[in-house]
Structures are given as C-alpha cells and as structure tokens.
Structure 1
C-alpha cells in the first residue's frame, strides 16, 4: 500500500444480536425526523427452509423484526423508504417498504432478474439503488454469482407508484475478471458512479446513468494490489470510497479518495471477522453515533458490529 497510510483503530460501540445462520450484508435506513430511531437491515443468507430472512435492528443492536421466508437473501440496499434484497435461489429481487412502526418492513413485491439464464448465471447477489439527480428516476443495479466477461451486471428502471414495485431492464454492463465473483455493489448517486468488487482482482467503477455518454466503458479500476483477502463490501464516507479486505479475525476497510483512488489514504481496523458487507452513514445518528455509523458484518459470532465514526474533517 503506502507508508503514509493513516491507521484508524475503532472499537465497536454495539454488537447486534446474532442472525442465526449466515449473516452477509447490512443497509441503513435513516429516520427522516428522529435519526436516533434509524434502523439497520441485515441479511441471513440461507434457504427459506433454514431461516433465510431480513433482520431489522435498532441502533442498540436489538432485533426489531425478522422478515422470513426469503430463499437465500444475499445483499440488501435502501433508498428512502424502500429496501431491496436479492433472493438467490429464486433469481429475483424482493422489495420492502420501511415505516416507523413496530414491524418496519412490509412486502412490496418481487422482480425476476437474469431472465433466461441458468444456475450461477441466474443467481443474484450484490444490489444497489441509483437515484438519478436530474429526474429522480430510481434504478436498481444487481450482480450475480457468475457471469460473462462483459455484461455481468443488470440495471432496471423501477416504478414505485403502485403497491408493488415493477421494473424494466435498461442495460447489461460491467467487466469481470473471471477470478472469483462479483458481490458487493455501491452507487454514489450524486456523482453518478457505480463501484463493484471483482473479488481477487480489484474494484471497478462505471457510470451509473445508462444514458450517460460514457455508459458503455469502464471509468477506472483500483485496489488491485495489497489485498490479503477477497475484495468485499463497499461504502461511502464523505469524499472517500471505503473498500473491504476480507480477513479472518480482523478485516480491514481501506479509504480511497473518489477523485484520486490510485492509493488508499487510510485504513480502518475494527476487529470484525471475515467481513462480507459494510455500510456507512455519515450523518449524526443520536448520542451513540454523533458523527456517523459504520456497520460491518462479523462472521464468527454471526452478527453485525456498529462503529461510531470520528469526525470526517479530521482525516
């Protein structure tokens, strides 16, 4: 990496209750009026028969709801009051409305993806929303367990006016090294960029807008060297994109400047085991998290760890 790399050591403020079988990916819902009542969603990545579910946690780490019956939910994302999870064994996306109620999640329908594909080519994994600034069009971008060297990802334009979410496929895009798989996807909607982890290779960046002049070409590839484990979860913290190095006993989270990602500027050490997914909210979320929240999957204890972030202007 680099000798100038800043090390940020964090201790978890909260450890959630365990999810039971196989935690994978978190997402954060920010309460629109009372940020201390925000919620964290997390997947239990197993079959429906074995307890596949979305778990909802309060910021105290306590379980608020378990939405079961999902067939191997892999990753989850949130945009406003809408959540989406990939359902690998059904080759579809599942949508949920989020409300400030005792049971925050309600079903908002399903959307088949990778239609006509088979086996791992049809098994959705990573997922992220893209809200286009110029017209507020809402898209979802989804990856899969395996795919071609070109066109690995699908992007769907969503319609959310009715009770259930519907969608229209607008493109397949994205390069793939063929080394392992592509799981983590994150979108910087303001910048119009989608980042995704090509495991064992690096982090790729494309335009998130299917109508952009450069939508058909890769913008950049970074984080290609210095990794000890798989390239996993991606999140955004101010001007930085934070990328996970999945390490047994102590995963690392490297921060790259979005505009100059050639070398990382800092690394966060928090002790989470073999982290798959991460998420960051850089807004104040009450007394526990006055400068923001980092959520990291923690493999061994089968839970998620919540870290209070320092002030971003101190970096």
Structure 2
C-alpha cells in the first residue's frame, strides 16, 4: 500500500489510490472540486464570506503567514486570487473570521472580516466586500499582560448575539496561562471607528502545547476551541451565561495536534463539527448537538491548520455547501460539502 501526501495525493485520487489513517484503517481520499492559487509564504486559516444577493460571487479569505509581507488573500469560487480584495504587508496574520450585520451606527450595518496580526499584538477589522479599514490601524489585545510572549494573538472567532445586537471577538494566543487563556472583546463602533472592549477572560488550558483554533456555533450559542494535545473544549458564547466549561472531548481521536475547527450547521439544529487531525492528515467528525465522535475522513490535505465550512448553496459550483481547508503546498482545497459524506456509515 502506497500512502501519497500533499498535492500528489490530490492529483492521483481519481485513480482510486488510498491512504492510511492514524489508526491504521484505510481511508479513501475524497477528491476536491479544486485547489486554489498559491500564496507566497505559508497558508494557515480560511473564512467564507457569503454574498447573500449573489451566492456564486461569495469570497474565500485565507491567511498567509509572514512577519514582513504576510497577507489575507481573497479567492473567488474558482480558487483564483482576487487582487483588489486581498491585503498584504501584514505582520504574521494568523487566523481569520467573518461576521454579518455589524452595526456601524444606528442606521448602518456591514459585514466584517477580522484577523489576528500576531507580531503586532493586535486584531484587524475590515468591511466586506469593499475592504475598508475600520480599526484605525489595529486593535491591541492582551494589553494587561506584562509578559510580551503572552500578547501574541493566534486564533479568532466572532460571535453575534442576535438578542442584544452585540458582536464579540474571541481571541486565543501563542502562549497563555492555565486559566483565562482566551479573551473576549465587545466590538463597539462610533464616529471615530471601532473599539475592542475586554469583557471577560476565560478558558482552561492543559499546558501541553497551545490554543489556536476557535469556532463559534452562533445559533446554539457555544464556543469550541482546540487545546491542541488534549481535547476540544466547549463554553457558552454569551459572557452573561458564565465561564463554566461545558465539555472537554475528542482527544483520543487525534494523533497529536487538534487544529482547525469548522461547524456545519443546518436549519433543524443538526450538523457536524469538523476538526483537523493535523499529523494524521485527516479530519475527525463529531455530532454538533451531542459532540459524539462519528468518524474520520481523508481529503488528501497535509498538515492542515485551518478549515471552514458553510451549508449555504453557492451557485452551481457548490450546490451542497462548501468546505475549505489549508494544505502545506501554500494553497487552500475546496470541496463541495455533499462530497464529504459526514454522516455515520
């Protein structure tokens, strides 16, 4: 049995070649719809902006890590870079997320993209799709830490409370304490721009490696994050519901690092939590409502950090929704969600 890696596995999957999972079982590679254009440095994390008026014109944003000329690149649904919507000259952009209907003032709202700029100890915020800067050059995070090594943000996810109309950014970092590893900021806008107000510090850490990936289940109101060598942790997204940990699950289903987390959400509240099993080069699938393990799938990607998913129909190209994942060839891999067959066999 030959186990191919990286783009070779993606290219030859049509020949029916298989790879081994970390458990020793044989997982067939699920072929992608396409592979994106390459970025210059080191891809990490994708986010999907859904164009509600023209879904076929939706945009995938993906980070490209470099300390001097990092970028957040915009891709169309053919995987081609959209130059006029891409941002470059950034200092190690790490993770990215999309939010909808962010209030700029009493009468104006916009969709937003946020990402962490690690080496400047800040998060950035731009409107989408016009890519206007809303943050006056950056919003500093972890400012109360005296140790600069604990001020370097990595993961980020947005939570919008539909009842209060408030939008929050949840941020993780390269290094942090065993308690209060994540900070949650309320994003507030006025005539001077957007401010980030710290509203809570929360989140347990095993101390084994680091916490990067964060995902928010908007409808059910939960935050999930990857304590990389330990488990997937679950908390309430609304800070008013308290800081009690709700679950720590799934660690036994990963070879080592628990990486990118994506939540496939359906209208009946069913769905799946898809998590990168980085060193095994596959993904572990969990039930959205019970958090029970379902199975692993192999998409042919290698050393995957970030991933993202939408169940929305994105035109003829992705009629069942879209799953995007990073691979180590400086590209992002696009799958029609229906091809993943996420349910139990």
Please report the TM-score for the alignment, with normalisation by the length of structure 2. 0.83
- 2:262 matched residue in structure 1: 235
How far apart are the structure 1 equivalents of 2:96 and 2:46? 6
In the alignment, is residue 23 of structure 1 matched against residue 43 of structure 2?
yes
1:195-206 aligned at under 5 Å gives the runs 195-206=224-235
Going from structure 1 to structure 2, the CA distance change for 1:126 and 1:190 (only over 3 Å counts) comes to: same
Partner of 1:112 in structure 2? 140
Q: Distance in 1 between matches of 2:112 and 2:192?
A: 12
| Structure whose CA Rg is larger | 2
Alignment partners' CA distance in 2, 1:311 and 1:120? 42
User: Alpha-carbon deviations, 1:242-280, whole Å to 9, x = none?
Assistant: 1110036xx212221122224x21322110110000000
Change (3 A) 1:216 1:8: farther
Mapping of residues 180-219 of structure 1, within 5 Å: 180-212=209-241, 215-219=242-246
The residue that corresponds to 1:89 in the other structure is: 119
Is 1:307 aligned to residue 335 of structure 2? yes
2:92 aligns to what?
Answer: 72
Structure 2 CA distance for aligned equivalents of residues 59 and 148 of structure 1: 40
Aligned length: 301
Residues 162 and 62 from structure 1, CA distance in 2 versus in 1: closer, same or farther, beyond 3 angstroms?
farther
Residue 177 (structure 2) pairs with residue 148 (structure 1):
yes
2:73 aligned residue (31, 51, 55): 55
Cα RMSD of the aligned pairs, angstroms, is 2.1
1:255 aligns with 2:285: yes
Cα distance, 1:291 vs structure 2: 0.3
| Aligned counterparts of 2:339 and 2:75: Cα–Cα separation in 1 | 24
Q: Are the equivalent residues in 1 in contact too, given 2:263–2:288 (CA < 8 A)? A: no
Distance 1:162 1:25, change over 3 A: farther
Distance 1:162 1:23, change over 3 A: farther
What TM-score results when the alignment is normalised by the length of structure 1?
0.90
Counterpart in the other structure of 2:53: 33
Gaps of 5+ in 1: none
